[in-house]
Structure 1
């Protein structure tokens, strides 16, 4: 468990499945987390995803919990690890609307970065974000990510194409 001022990152629990399912049906969450067709999650698929995480290697998923209320408000994790090159690819979402835009995701990302650099001995953390997700881009920049590249018109949303931005942070540039 990794604890900040607003949030703590903890392992996933079975009781997180129901709120995660609700969050995955939120149109804003769906539009921002995957380049695929934004199709609502079913409770059965969410349970299957949760159960699949037990057997996964090289992925580390955390629940984001509000310290004050104990509520599960979202998730973050390492989606892929390249051990040879010491690169981790990460993702995050805040599912509870009441906690968006208030620094919870920024703090959760800081905790995740600390874990990756200090416990996993990773050199580079990267992520991909859609150009229309300005709130997330601002948050990533606050914790030290820089824009490295743009995948032009790589995602189709609401009748038009958008860019996908590649961002990264190196261990040597990270300031706690």
Structure 2
């Protein structure tokens, strides 16, 4: 049985203070930020506080995505707003290192996070929203098993225009 926090290319690990420089760079890089809900520059002090905030747990399991081969932090993900009553969580992911946007790292991280959610958190459903103009992410999500569930028209104002949010979901047993 595979380790719950390890895939074929990546492992998921806890956030550490040593990640502050990476987060500061990622969250101030428009190429990364344009795919996320954030929009404003963030200071190192803010990132330091964010990394140290809270004890990750069922309601907000957050991880650093690290390559297995080099042990290099390349992004982060989280299973957020998890509820034990409904056994559902929202998944968010970002690959901040541009050199790792191809090569299967995001797909492996998604599979690993979903496996963790189903096997360790006993989730029944994992859901996410993605901008309508991000077909690369949608292909990754579909490859992992997520299905289109609907569109929130003009769901977010980003990059100077209103954008639709595509809602996708994955049920236990559908992970590919």
TM over 0.5, shorter chain = yes
CA distance in 2 between counterparts of 1:140 and 1:23 reads: 22
Identify the match of residue 26 of structure 1 among 26, 29, 35: 29
Residue in 1 that maps onto 2:172: 171
> What is residue 19 of structure 2 aligned with on the other side?
16
Offset of residue 53 of structure 1: 3.1
- SS of 2:110's partner is helix
Alpha-carbon distance in 2 for matches of 1:56, 1:86: 14
Counterpart of 2:140 in structure 1 is: 139
Q: CA RMSD in A?
A: 1.5
**Per-residue deviation, 1:57:** 5.9
- Structure-1-length-normalised TM-score: 0.92
* Kept in 2: contact 1:101–1:135 (CA 8 A): no
Structure 1: gaps spanning 5 or more residues: none
Q: Which has the higher helix share?
A: 1
Which residue of 2 is the match for residue 95 of structure 1? 96
| Partner SS state of residue 90, structure 1 | strand
Structure 2 distance, partners of 1:103, 1:57, is 27
Match status 1:4 vs 2:37: no
Give secondary structure in 1 for the equivalent of 2:126.
strand
TM superposition shift of 1:55: 6.7
Runs of 4+ in 1 over 2 A off after TM superposition: 53-57, 172-175
Number of residue-to-residue matches in the alignment: 173
Q: TM-score, normalised by structure 2?
A: 0.92
1:56-109 deviations in Å (ceiling 9; x for gaps): 661111110011111100001112112111111110000001001221011001
Q: Which moved more, 1:50-59 or 1:146-155?
A: 50-59
What per-residue deviation string (whole Å, max 9, x for no partner) do you get for residues 13-32 of structure 1? Answer: 11111111111111022111
Deviation at 1:157, TM superposition (A): 2.4
Task: Give the aligned partner of residue 123 of structure 1.
Answer: 124
1:3-82 counterparts in 2 under 5 A? 3-34=6-37, 38-54=39-55, 58-82=59-83
CA deviations 1:85-135 (Å, max 9, x no partner) are 111111000000100122101100100000000111110000111111111
What residue ranges of structure 2 are gaps of 5+ in the alignment?
none
- Compared CA separation, residues 57 and 6, structure 1 to 2 (3 A): closer
